[in-house]
Structure 1
Protein backbone atom coordinates (compact mmCIF):
# COMPACT_ATOMS: atom_id res chain seq x y z
CA UNK A 1 0.00 0.00 0.00
CA UNK A 2 1.59 3.25 -1.14
CA UNK A 3 -1.17 5.80 -1.78
CA UNK A 4 -3.83 6.81 0.71
CA UNK A 5 -6.82 9.12 0.48
CA UNK A 6 -8.09 10.76 3.66
CA UNK A 7 -11.69 11.95 3.44
CA UNK A 8 -12.44 14.12 6.46
CA UNK A 9 -14.03 17.55 6.85
CA UNK A 10 -11.77 18.36 9.83
CA UNK A 11 -8.83 19.96 8.03
CA UNK A 12 -6.60 20.00 11.12
CA UNK A 13 -7.12 16.32 11.88
CA UNK A 14 -6.60 15.38 8.23
CA UNK A 15 -3.40 17.46 8.00
CA UNK A 16 -1.92 15.86 11.13
CA UNK A 17 -2.85 12.36 9.93
CA UNK A 18 -1.52 13.05 6.42
CA UNK A 19 1.77 14.36 7.82
CA UNK A 20 2.16 11.28 10.04
CA UNK A 21 1.42 8.93 7.15
CA UNK A 22 3.75 10.83 4.81
CA UNK A 23 6.58 10.41 7.32
CA UNK A 24 6.03 6.67 7.03
CA UNK A 25 6.47 6.80 3.27
CA UNK A 26 2.88 7.05 2.05
CA UNK A 27 1.70 9.36 -0.71
CA UNK A 28 -1.34 11.00 0.91
CA UNK A 29 -4.19 13.05 -0.56
CA UNK A 30 -6.93 14.81 1.39
CA UNK A 31 -10.53 15.47 0.38
CA UNK A 32 -12.77 17.53 2.64
CA UNK A 33 -16.13 16.76 1.03
CA UNK A 34 -17.86 14.09 -1.10
CA UNK A 35 -17.33 15.91 -4.42
CA UNK A 36 -13.59 16.29 -3.81
CA UNK A 37 -13.39 12.65 -2.68
CA UNK A 38 -15.03 11.37 -5.85
CA UNK A 39 -12.68 13.52 -7.95
CA UNK A 40 -9.67 12.21 -5.99
CA UNK A 41 -10.49 8.55 -6.72
CA UNK A 42 -10.14 9.21 -10.46
CA UNK A 43 -6.64 7.87 -9.80
CA UNK A 44 -7.56 5.02 -7.45
CA UNK A 45 -5.60 4.99 -4.18
CA UNK A 46 -4.50 1.81 -2.42
CA UNK A 47 -6.32 2.79 0.75
CA UNK A 48 -9.06 5.17 1.81
CA UNK A 49 -9.71 6.54 5.31
CA UNK A 50 -13.30 7.79 5.36
CA UNK A 51 -14.85 9.89 8.11
CA UNK A 52 -18.40 8.88 8.97
CA UNK A 53 -19.63 12.43 9.57
CA UNK A 54 -18.79 14.74 6.66
CA UNK A 55 -20.16 18.16 7.61
CA UNK A 56 -23.43 16.60 8.71
CA UNK A 57 -23.67 14.18 5.79
CA UNK A 58 -23.08 10.45 6.21
CA UNK A 59 -19.89 8.95 4.85
CA UNK A 60 -21.85 5.71 4.45
CA UNK A 61 -23.64 7.26 1.45
CA UNK A 62 -20.29 7.95 -0.17
CA UNK A 63 -18.76 4.54 0.57
CA UNK A 64 -20.36 2.55 -2.31
CA UNK A 65 -19.49 5.25 -4.84
CA UNK A 66 -15.87 5.26 -3.71
CA UNK A 67 -15.57 1.49 -3.97
CA UNK A 68 -17.28 1.50 -7.36
CA UNK A 69 -14.64 3.92 -8.68
CA UNK A 70 -11.73 2.30 -6.79
CA UNK A 71 -12.72 -1.37 -6.31
CA UNK A 72 -9.24 -2.51 -5.28
CA UNK A 73 -8.89 0.14 -2.55
CA UNK A 74 -9.01 -0.96 1.08
CA UNK A 75 -11.49 1.35 2.81
CA UNK A 76 -11.45 2.14 6.52
CA UNK A 77 -14.21 4.09 8.25
CA UNK A 78 -12.76 6.27 11.02
CA UNK A 79 -15.23 8.17 13.17
CA UNK A 80 -15.80 10.04 16.38
CA UNK A 81 -19.44 8.91 16.29
CA UNK A 82 -18.96 5.15 16.46
CA UNK A 83 -21.90 2.81 16.91
CA UNK A 84 -22.55 -0.84 16.33
CA UNK A 85 -25.21 -0.09 13.70
CA UNK A 86 -22.94 2.10 11.59
CA UNK A 87 -20.03 -0.34 11.98
CA UNK A 88 -22.15 -3.21 10.68
CA UNK A 89 -23.51 -1.08 7.84
CA UNK A 90 -20.02 0.10 6.84
CA UNK A 91 -18.72 -3.47 6.65
CA UNK A 92 -21.80 -4.57 4.70
CA UNK A 93 -21.11 -1.78 2.22
CA UNK A 94 -17.51 -2.92 1.71
CA UNK A 95 -15.33 -1.28 4.36
CA UNK A 96 -12.48 -3.54 5.48
CA UNK A 97 -12.59 -2.10 8.98
CA UNK A 98 -14.13 0.51 11.27
CA UNK A 99 -12.33 2.45 13.98
CA UNK A 100 -13.43 4.99 16.55
CA UNK A 101 -11.45 8.19 16.99
CA UNK A 102 -9.02 8.73 18.53
CA UNK A 103 -6.93 6.12 16.76
CA UNK A 104 -3.18 6.03 16.35
CA UNK A 105 -1.45 5.85 12.98
CA UNK A 106 -0.43 2.30 13.89
CA UNK A 107 -4.11 1.43 14.56
CA UNK A 108 -5.11 2.90 11.20
CA UNK A 109 -2.40 1.09 9.26
CA UNK A 110 -3.19 -2.19 11.02
CA UNK A 111 -6.90 -1.78 10.25
CA UNK A 112 -6.19 -1.08 6.58
CA UNK A 113 -3.90 -4.09 6.37
CA UNK A 114 -6.23 -6.50 8.14
CA UNK A 115 -7.34 -9.26 5.82
CA UNK A 116 -9.47 -11.33 8.18
CA UNK A 117 -11.15 -10.90 11.53
CA UNK A 118 -8.93 -11.36 14.57
CA UNK A 119 -10.31 -14.23 16.67
CA UNK A 120 -7.91 -13.36 19.51
CA UNK A 121 -9.49 -9.93 19.98
CA UNK A 122 -10.75 -9.58 23.53
CA UNK A 123 -14.47 -9.10 24.02
CA UNK A 124 -15.44 -6.83 26.88
CA UNK A 125 -17.03 -8.53 29.85
CA UNK A 126 -18.90 -5.44 31.01
CA UNK A 127 -22.40 -4.94 29.63
CA UNK A 128 -23.10 -1.62 27.92
CA UNK A 129 -24.45 1.21 30.04
CA UNK A 130 -28.04 2.37 29.58
CA UNK A 131 -26.80 5.58 27.93
CA UNK A 132 -24.68 3.55 25.49
CA UNK A 133 -27.59 1.22 24.68
CA UNK A 134 -29.76 4.28 23.98
CA UNK A 135 -27.05 5.72 21.71
CA UNK A 136 -26.77 2.42 19.83
CA UNK A 137 -30.56 2.27 19.40
CA UNK A 138 -30.65 5.82 17.98
CA UNK A 139 -27.87 4.93 15.55
CA UNK A 140 -29.61 1.71 14.46
CA UNK A 141 -32.91 3.50 13.78
CA UNK A 142 -31.06 6.32 11.99
CA UNK A 143 -29.31 3.75 9.80
CA UNK A 144 -32.63 2.00 9.06
CA UNK A 145 -33.97 5.33 7.79
CA UNK A 146 -30.97 6.01 5.56
CA UNK A 147 -29.59 8.78 7.78
CA UNK A 148 -32.81 10.80 7.49
CA UNK A 149 -33.14 12.60 10.84
CA UNK A 150 -36.79 13.63 10.30
CA UNK A 151 -37.90 10.07 9.46
CA UNK A 152 -35.91 8.72 12.41
CA UNK A 153 -37.51 11.24 14.78
CA UNK A 154 -40.98 10.25 13.54
CA UNK A 155 -40.15 6.56 14.02
CA UNK A 156 -38.93 7.22 17.57
CA UNK A 157 -41.88 9.49 18.39
CA UNK A 158 -39.73 12.47 19.25
CA UNK A 159 -39.14 15.97 17.97
CA UNK A 160 -36.55 16.30 15.21
CA UNK A 161 -34.55 18.97 17.05
CA UNK A 162 -34.36 16.82 20.18
CA UNK A 163 -32.97 13.99 18.10
CA UNK A 164 -30.49 16.33 16.40
CA UNK A 165 -29.22 17.49 19.80
CA UNK A 166 -28.79 13.88 20.92
CA UNK A 167 -26.95 12.95 17.73
CA UNK A 168 -24.64 15.98 17.97
CA UNK A 169 -23.20 14.66 21.24
CA UNK A 170 -20.29 12.25 21.24
CA UNK A 171 -21.27 8.68 22.02
CA UNK A 172 -20.89 7.67 25.62
CA UNK A 173 -18.26 5.12 26.53
CA UNK A 174 -19.26 1.57 27.32
Structure 2
Protein backbone atom coordinates (compact mmCIF):
# COMPACT_ATOMS: atom_id res chain seq x y z
CA UNK A 1 0.00 0.00 0.00
CA UNK A 2 1.00 3.61 -0.47
CA UNK A 3 1.85 5.99 2.32
CA UNK A 4 -1.59 7.54 2.58
CA UNK A 5 -3.68 8.18 5.65
CA UNK A 6 -7.39 7.18 5.54
CA UNK A 7 -8.09 10.39 7.47
CA UNK A 8 -7.27 12.23 4.20
CA UNK A 9 -10.61 11.00 2.86
CA UNK A 10 -12.70 13.18 5.14
CA UNK A 11 -16.17 12.30 6.40
CA UNK A 12 -17.74 11.35 3.07
CA UNK A 13 -15.88 8.31 1.76
CA UNK A 14 -18.38 7.38 -0.97
CA UNK A 15 -16.73 6.20 -4.18
CA UNK A 16 -18.36 5.38 -7.52
CA UNK A 17 -16.46 2.95 -9.76
CA UNK A 18 -17.73 2.80 -13.36
CA UNK A 19 -16.15 0.15 -15.59
CA UNK A 20 -17.60 -2.56 -17.84
CA UNK A 21 -14.77 -4.99 -17.00
CA UNK A 22 -16.54 -6.83 -14.17
CA UNK A 23 -13.52 -8.69 -12.69
CA UNK A 24 -11.44 -5.47 -12.71
CA UNK A 25 -14.12 -3.34 -11.07
CA UNK A 26 -14.72 -5.97 -8.35
CA UNK A 27 -10.99 -6.21 -7.53
CA UNK A 28 -10.70 -2.43 -7.52
CA UNK A 29 -13.73 -2.08 -5.23
CA UNK A 30 -12.16 -4.48 -2.70
CA UNK A 31 -8.81 -2.71 -2.85
CA UNK A 32 -10.39 0.73 -2.43
CA UNK A 33 -12.50 -0.53 0.48
CA UNK A 34 -9.27 -1.60 2.23
CA UNK A 35 -8.06 1.99 1.79
CA UNK A 36 -11.08 3.40 3.62
CA UNK A 37 -13.43 4.20 0.74
CA UNK A 38 -17.07 3.06 0.58
CA UNK A 39 -17.31 1.87 -3.05
CA UNK A 40 -20.35 1.39 -5.24
CA UNK A 41 -19.94 -0.09 -8.72
CA UNK A 42 -21.65 0.48 -12.05
CA UNK A 43 -20.92 -1.36 -15.29
CA UNK A 44 -22.48 1.03 -17.79
CA UNK A 45 -22.99 4.71 -18.57
CA UNK A 46 -26.70 4.36 -17.73
CA UNK A 47 -25.99 2.82 -14.30
CA UNK A 48 -23.27 5.38 -13.58
CA UNK A 49 -25.53 8.30 -14.45
CA UNK A 50 -28.38 6.85 -12.36
CA UNK A 51 -26.11 6.61 -9.31
CA UNK A 52 -24.75 10.11 -9.99
CA UNK A 53 -28.32 11.46 -9.98
CA UNK A 54 -29.60 9.58 -6.92
CA UNK A 55 -26.48 9.26 -4.72
CA UNK A 56 -23.68 11.52 -6.00
CA UNK A 57 -20.41 10.32 -4.39
CA UNK A 58 -17.47 12.32 -3.03
CA UNK A 59 -15.07 10.37 -5.30
CA UNK A 60 -15.39 8.61 -8.64
CA UNK A 61 -13.28 6.49 -10.98
CA UNK A 62 -14.79 6.28 -14.47
CA UNK A 63 -13.63 4.23 -17.46
CA UNK A 64 -13.65 6.27 -20.66
CA UNK A 65 -14.99 3.60 -23.03
CA UNK A 66 -17.99 1.62 -21.88
CA UNK A 67 -20.25 -0.82 -23.73
CA UNK A 68 -23.15 1.65 -23.89
CA UNK A 69 -21.25 4.88 -24.48
CA UNK A 70 -18.66 7.34 -23.26
CA UNK A 71 -17.66 7.60 -19.60
CA UNK A 72 -17.37 11.39 -19.99
CA UNK A 73 -21.19 11.45 -19.88
CA UNK A 74 -20.97 10.07 -16.33
CA UNK A 75 -18.34 12.70 -15.45
CA UNK A 76 -20.68 15.46 -16.65
CA UNK A 77 -23.61 14.02 -14.65
CA UNK A 78 -21.42 13.89 -11.53
CA UNK A 79 -20.27 17.49 -12.05
CA UNK A 80 -23.89 18.68 -12.34
CA UNK A 81 -25.03 16.95 -9.14
CA UNK A 82 -21.86 17.29 -7.06
CA UNK A 83 -19.32 19.87 -8.28
CA UNK A 84 -16.83 18.97 -5.51
CA UNK A 85 -16.61 15.29 -6.53
CA UNK A 86 -12.99 14.18 -7.15
CA UNK A 87 -13.04 12.23 -10.43
CA UNK A 88 -10.33 10.13 -12.07
CA UNK A 89 -10.87 8.93 -15.65
CA UNK A 90 -9.36 5.57 -16.64
CA UNK A 91 -8.76 4.36 -20.15
CA UNK A 92 -7.25 1.37 -21.89
CA UNK A 93 -5.31 3.65 -24.18
CA UNK A 94 -4.23 7.21 -23.64
CA UNK A 95 -4.87 9.99 -26.12
CA UNK A 96 -4.10 13.64 -25.53
CA UNK A 97 -7.46 14.81 -26.92
CA UNK A 98 -9.49 12.65 -24.53
CA UNK A 99 -7.27 13.59 -21.58
CA UNK A 100 -7.86 17.27 -22.31
CA UNK A 101 -11.62 16.67 -22.69
CA UNK A 102 -11.76 14.77 -19.39
CA UNK A 103 -9.92 17.50 -17.48
CA UNK A 104 -11.94 20.29 -19.12
CA UNK A 105 -15.23 18.82 -17.91
CA UNK A 106 -13.94 18.33 -14.40
CA UNK A 107 -11.81 15.21 -13.98
CA UNK A 108 -9.02 15.62 -11.42
CA UNK A 109 -6.74 13.21 -13.27
CA UNK A 110 -6.51 10.81 -16.20
CA UNK A 111 -4.81 7.41 -15.87
CA UNK A 112 -4.07 4.68 -18.41
CA UNK A 113 -4.91 1.10 -17.55
CA UNK A 114 -3.63 -0.95 -15.94
CA UNK A 115 -3.60 1.48 -13.03
CA UNK A 116 -3.39 -0.07 -9.59
CA UNK A 117 -5.29 0.98 -6.48
CA UNK A 118 -2.32 2.99 -5.17
CA UNK A 119 -2.11 5.05 -8.39
CA UNK A 120 -5.87 5.66 -8.28
CA UNK A 121 -5.85 6.58 -4.58
CA UNK A 122 -2.97 9.02 -5.12
CA UNK A 123 -4.80 10.62 -8.05
CA UNK A 124 -8.08 10.90 -6.10
CA UNK A 125 -6.40 12.50 -3.10
CA UNK A 126 -3.95 14.82 -4.88
CA UNK A 127 -4.76 18.48 -4.31
CA UNK A 128 -3.71 21.70 -5.96
CA UNK A 129 -1.38 22.02 -8.89
CA UNK A 130 1.06 19.32 -7.74
CA UNK A 131 0.98 16.18 -9.85
CA UNK A 132 0.67 12.85 -8.04
CA UNK A 133 3.92 10.88 -7.88
CA UNK A 134 4.69 8.72 -10.92
CA UNK A 135 3.56 5.09 -10.77
CA UNK A 136 5.97 2.57 -9.24
CA UNK A 137 5.86 0.26 -12.28
CA UNK A 138 4.58 2.15 -15.34
CA UNK A 139 3.84 0.23 -18.52
CA UNK A 140 6.67 0.15 -21.04
CA UNK A 141 6.13 1.90 -24.36
CA UNK A 142 6.09 -1.50 -26.08
CA UNK A 143 3.37 -2.70 -23.70
CA UNK A 144 1.25 0.44 -24.31
CA UNK A 145 1.56 -0.12 -28.07
CA UNK A 146 0.65 -3.79 -27.73
CA UNK A 147 -2.39 -2.97 -25.53
CA UNK A 148 -3.62 -0.42 -28.08
CA UNK A 149 -3.26 -2.89 -30.96
CA UNK A 150 -5.11 -5.58 -28.96
CA UNK A 151 -7.95 -3.18 -28.18
CA UNK A 152 -8.42 -2.14 -31.81
CA UNK A 153 -8.16 -5.80 -32.86
CA UNK A 154 -10.99 -6.71 -30.46
CA UNK A 155 -13.08 -3.73 -31.59
CA UNK A 156 -12.72 -4.95 -35.18
CA UNK A 157 -14.11 -8.36 -34.14
CA UNK A 158 -10.64 -9.93 -34.46
CA UNK A 159 -10.48 -9.13 -38.17
CA UNK A 160 -6.78 -8.73 -39.01
CA UNK A 161 -7.31 -6.91 -42.32
CA UNK A 162 -9.73 -4.38 -40.84
CA UNK A 163 -7.48 -3.83 -37.82
CA UNK A 164 -4.44 -3.28 -40.06
CA UNK A 165 -6.40 -0.78 -42.17
CA UNK A 166 -7.54 1.19 -39.09
CA UNK A 167 -4.06 1.22 -37.60
CA UNK A 168 -2.56 2.19 -40.95
CA UNK A 169 -0.15 -0.74 -40.88
CA UNK A 170 0.66 -3.61 -43.20
CA UNK A 171 -1.44 -6.73 -42.57
CA UNK A 172 1.57 -9.07 -42.35
CA UNK A 173 3.31 -6.79 -39.85
CA UNK A 174 0.17 -6.84 -37.72
CA UNK A 175 -0.03 -10.64 -37.97
CA UNK A 176 3.57 -10.92 -36.70
CA UNK A 177 2.79 -8.60 -33.77
CA UNK A 178 -0.37 -10.54 -32.88
CA UNK A 179 1.51 -13.86 -33.00
CA UNK A 180 4.01 -12.71 -30.35
CA UNK A 181 3.52 -12.71 -26.60
CA UNK A 182 2.70 -9.47 -24.88
CA UNK A 183 5.71 -7.38 -23.82
CA UNK A 184 6.25 -6.72 -20.11
Q: What TM-score does the superposition give when structure 1 sets the normalisation length?
A: 0.67
Partner residue, 2:43: 32
SS of 1:116's equivalent in the other structure is coil
| CA pair 121-8 structure 1, distance change in 2 beyond 3 A | closer
Is the contact between residue 123 and residue 132 of structure 2 (CA under 8 Å) also seen in structure 1?
no
2:27 corresponds to which residue?
16
From 49, 54, 59, the counterpart of 2:66: 54
Task: Give the Å deviation of 1:121.
Answer: 6.7
Please give the alpha-carbon distance, in whole angstroms, between the structure 1 residues aligned to 2:121 and 2:129. 15
SS in 2 for 1:98: strand
Return the offset for 1:19.
0.7
Q: 1:35 to 1:163 in 2, by over 3 A?
A: farther
What corresponds to 1:81 in structure 2?
93
Distance 2:131 2:38 in 1: 32
SS in 1 for 2:80: helix
- Larger gyration radius, structure 1 or structure 2: 2
Q: Does 1:5 align with 2:16?
A: yes
Instruction: Identify the residue that residue 107 of structure 2 maps to in structure 1.
Output: 95
**CA deviation string 1:23-44 (max 9, x = no partner):** 2221110011111112212112
How many aligned positions are there?
134
CA RMSD of superposed structures (Å): 2.9
Deviations 1:76-128 (A, max 9, x none): 10111211111111001110100111112111011011122336978xxxxx9
Alignment partners' CA distance in 2, 1:109 and 1:121? 11
Asked whether the equivalents of residues 52 and 77 of structure 1 are also in contact (C-alpha less than 8 Å), the reply is yes
Distance 1:86 1:76 in 2: 13
